[in-house]
Structure formats: C-alpha cells, structure tokens
Amino acid sequence: MKIHGLDFVCLDLTHKDAEETKRHFPHIYQKCLSIGIDITKQFIPVCPSAHYMCGGIKVNKNGESSIHRLYAVGECSCTGLHGGNRLASNSLIEAAVYAQSAAEHTLNTIDNYNFNTLVPEWNDEGTLTNEEHVLITQCIREVGEIMSNYVGIVRSDLRLKRAWNRLDLLYEETEELFKRVTATKDICELRNMINVGYLITRQAIERKESRGLHFTVDYPKHAYDQR
C-alpha cells in the first residue's frame, strides 16, 4: 500500500464455496452485505489498523500510570507481560486482567479522593453558534489520514516531519475556530486528537532506532545493533 499509494488491498474469497463462506463468516458476510459487498462474489477491501503507541505507557499492577488517577489499559500500556513488541492479539490478556485490576482499584480508592465542586459554568459569551460543523469533521478526517499515512507502522524522518507540519497547521486552525464558536463535544475531541497526534509524532521523531513494531526506515536496526 505504501509503495503503490493504495488506500486498501483486497481479500478474495470468491473461489470458496458460497454457502461455506456464509456459514463460516456469518457476521463478516452480513456486515459487508450491509455496505454493498457480497464477499462470495466480490473482493473485500481491507486496510491494516495503525498501532501508534503500543506499550508506550508504563503502569503498575493496578494499571496506574505515573500521572495520579490516570490509568492505561490494553495496547497502549507497558505491563511487561509481553515484552516490547506489542501486537493486537496478545494484548487481550492485558485488556482483561489489567482492566479488572484497574476497575477494582478505582472502586477501592475513589472514596478517598477530593473533587473540586466549585468549577464555574463554561462562559461562552461572545462566541458564535457552531454552524460550520463540516470544518470539524474534515479536520478529524485529516488527522486520521495524517497519522495513518505518515505515523503508522512504517515510519521515516521525512514522513514524520510532514506529519508534524500538517498537525501544526490543523492545530492553529482548530484553536482559532475553538475561540470563535461555542464549545462542543466534537471540537473538544478534535483538539485532543491533534494533541495526542503531536505527542506520538514527537516521540517517534526522537526515537533513533527500530524496536518491535516501532519501525523506521532511517534507523532499521535496534539500538544495540547500531553500537
């Protein structure tokens, strides 16, 4: 996909017995059919999910990060159960075991926390009603495409620099819009997405090695191999 600039590749099940395919993959068959694809007769377009921060947040046995009250569970967490190479399927035990540990810990400690109940209501006086929702949806789409295309599984200094520049432009545009319109869930989520993209890209730029699935074509070897 990267070499040829493709948005997806295709899986072909058309050579298999149609009834067997329906019986073996009933949910996939129905889902694809709902969007106009009969997998017994047509190819299935697929695209790999991007793993940006596998194993990036170190946690203890309760799933607690170094930031007080912030927990990290699943693929983003670094528990030591599976080493440095974090993949989708082997995080299931972490998502199940550590999710339960984190939930139990929060239930046992939440009554000891003090909460600020004097937070004033959001003052949006002087802002406009957000009638340009297309600006937000377009930016959300752009952030996803930037991260998938430039900060995905295979990285390079050139792609990361381009991602950084694009995110910087989106950040400026979004902050300008945020100051003009009434705050909504969508625009707040967009701001968070851009900030997280910034952090991931910055960390990727600073990494001068390939480790596990954090692969960069400019530093293809593990740090120990480059000594």
DSSP string, 130-175: ---HHHHHHHHHHHHHHHHHHSSSEE-HHHHHHHHHHHHHHHHHHH
Closest CA to 143 of 176, 116, 166: 166
> pLDDT class for 174, splitting at 50, 70, 90?
very high
Domain 133-216: assigned CATH number: 1.20.58.100
What does the alpha-carbon distance between residue 170 and residue 198 come to, in Å, rounded to a whole number? 11
What does the alpha-carbon distance between residue 181 and residue 199 come to, in Å, rounded to a whole number? 26
Summarised one tens digit per residue, pLDDT across range 90-106 is 567 777 888 999 999 99
| Neighbour tally for 168: CB within 10 Å | 13
Summarised one tens digit per residue, pLDDT across range 151-167 is 987 899 999 999 999 99
Taking the domains of the chain in order of start, what are their residue ranges?
Answer: 9-46, 57-108, 133-216
With 70 as the cut, is the pLDDT of residue 209 above it?
yes
With 80 as the cut, is the pLDDT of residue 84 above it?
no
Instruction: State the average pLDDT over residues 133-158.
Output: 90
With 80 as the cut, is the pLDDT of residue 133 above it?
yes
User: For tokens 């890209």, what's the residue?
Assistant: 201
With 60 as the cut, is the pLDDT of residue 206 above it?
yes
Q: What's the pLDDT score for residue 129?
A: 74
> pLDDT class for 74, splitting at 50, 70, 90?
confident
With 90 as the cut, is the pLDDT of residue 81 above it?
no
With 80 as the cut, is the pLDDT of residue 68 above it?
yes
pTM of model > 0.85 = no
